Amino acid sequence: MSEGKISSTQLTLLLFLSRIFSILEYTPALGDSMTGMTLLLSTALSFLVQCVLVIPMLLLLYRYQNQNVLGCAYLVSPVLGKITAALFLLLFLAHLSGGYAIFSMFMTNIVYLKSSPILIVLLLAAVCTVCACFGLQGLARAGSIVFVLFILSTVFLCLVASDSAEILNIHMIQEDGISRIIRGTLESTSKNAELFVLLLLLPQIAKPQKKRACTYWFLTLVFLFTEVTQFIILSVLGDFGMKQMFPYYALTSVIDISIFQRLDSLHVTLWIFTALFRCTLYTICAAKCANMLFPKKISRFSPLFIFLLSSGAGIFLANHIPLLRRASPSNSLILTLLTAVFPLILFVILYRKEKRHAPCKSPAAPDSHS
């Protein structure tokens, strides 16, 4: 896989498109027990929590400009570097296979009702693997174009849906709303696996001084998009929208205008693009982890290795969707540990190591951009 530097804007847009995939299928784990206002407040709190979580990551990657989290772990200890690479590889494979399963569920239950989940998973996995072989730069250039089309279509949808919006459909917070807000915040935060991607790809930015801007612009774009779309869905569909597996699709399927008979075909097209970008980006990240684990003679086959593992797991999960829903609480803990606690520990260890052995050189980490 060819690698190279990309701009901070390109990385921001790539992360945004990847995150959109899970936002468009977002359903609160609490189901109909969460009111509309509770959902909106949970999203806002989740944004603030994530802004705090990324601080240790930014401290670490600012101090060690040319290293990602794998390279920083290797500087502490080559063994720790290998363990970290293996852990992140498993994480990306898990999210990749989960993405394949959700995409398959959407296509087989809504778009192509008689299609085979196995065929859909294998097709998406094959396309994403081929796209990943062209590297991050090619994906970033395509992402800029798709982002513009996506924003235009979203603005168009919001304008059309506003005629059917009714603010009274958004119910207020109930008596035990505090506990539900906390649980909703954890649920929303746990879905932002793109923070793992940041740990690996922030050093790919051409201008290192823009790492912080890239991170917070990404979080802000996701927050604004999520709040706006949730508000539109809730004000148009009310409690019905809260119970849908794919609420955004439910919104597009009930809107009729004179130009298009239905808007759901537009949504399906955009969602396929976001699935392609997310899974390709995760394949690239998984390959970077595999390249640190295995010798160069073996690592060149990492795309094939990732294709086989992720597609196999995706086929299994496509037939066991409830397993994905049960993983949300553990996802929150893993996200906190790997995006905040682990980078902070690495930063403290490396800082003390530098102070203790100032005249000595640290062991060179392997190229974390390969």
Cβ atoms of 202 and 68 within 8 Å: the answer is yes
Q: Give percent above pLDDT 70 in the chain.
A: 82
Q: Is 316 left (phi over 0), alpha (psi -120 to 50) or beta?
A: alpha
Q: Are 281 and 139 within 8 A, CB to CB?
A: yes
pLDDT for 320 beyond 80:
no
Q: What is the pLDDT of residue 233?
A: 82
Give the HSE-up count for residue 256: Cα atoms under 13 Å, Cβ half-sphere: 1
| The two structure tokens encoding residue 368 | 């974390």
Specify which of 64-78, 245-259, 349-363 reaches the highest per-range mean pLDDT: 64-78
Query: What angle, 0 to 180 degrees and rounded to 10, lies between the N-to-C axes of helices 264-293 and 247-254?
Result: 160
In this prediction, residue 29 carries a pLDDT of 44
State how far the Cα of 283 lies from the Cα of 369, in Å rounded to an integer.
Answer: 14
Paired with 205 in beta bridges are 6
More confident residue, 112 or 82: 82
pLDDT for position 71: 92
pLDDT at 262: 57
> What is residue 367's predicted lDDT score, i.e. its pLDDT?
58
Q: Once rounded to an integer, what is the mean pLDDT over residues 285-289?
A: 92
Does the pLDDT at position 339 exceed 90?
no
- Residues 8-356: name the CATH superfamily: Amino acid/polyamine transporter I (1.20.1740.10)
Q: What is the reported pLDDT for 258?
A: 46
Token duo for residue 184 = 């909703």
Q: List Cα–Cα distances, 269 to 51, 130, 220, 323, in angstroms.
A: 31, 20, 25, 27
More confident residue, 363 or 326: 326
Across the range 337-365, mean pLDDT stands at 78
CB 80 within 8 A of CB 73: yes
pLDDT at 77 over 80: yes
Question: DSSP E strands: which ranges in the chain?
Answer: none
Number of alpha carbons in the 13 Å side-chain half-sphere of residue 218: 29
Closest C-alpha among 18, 4, 301, 274 to residue 134: 4
Backbone angles phi, psi at 205, to 5 degrees: -70, 135
- pLDDT (tens digit, 9 = 90+) per residue, 39-70? 788 889 999 999 999 999 999 998 888 889 99
Which ranges in 207-246 belong to alpha helices (H)? 211-237, 239-242
Give the model's pLDDT for residue 369: 58
Give the model confidence (pLDDT) of 131-189 as tens digits: 998 888 889 989 888 898 888 888 887 787 777 767 766 666 555 567 778 887 888 88
Whether the per-residue pLDDT at 9 is higher than 80: the answer is yes
Residue 259 has pLDDT above 60, yes or no: no
Task: Indicate the residue type of 234.
Answer: L
Kindly report which listed range (47-51, 236-240, 322-326, 342-346) carries the lowest average pLDDT score: 322-326
In 3D space, the residue among 13, 310, 26 whose CA is nearest the CA of residue 189 turns out to be 26
Q: How confident is the model at residue 277 (pLDDT cuts 50, 70, 90)?
A: very high
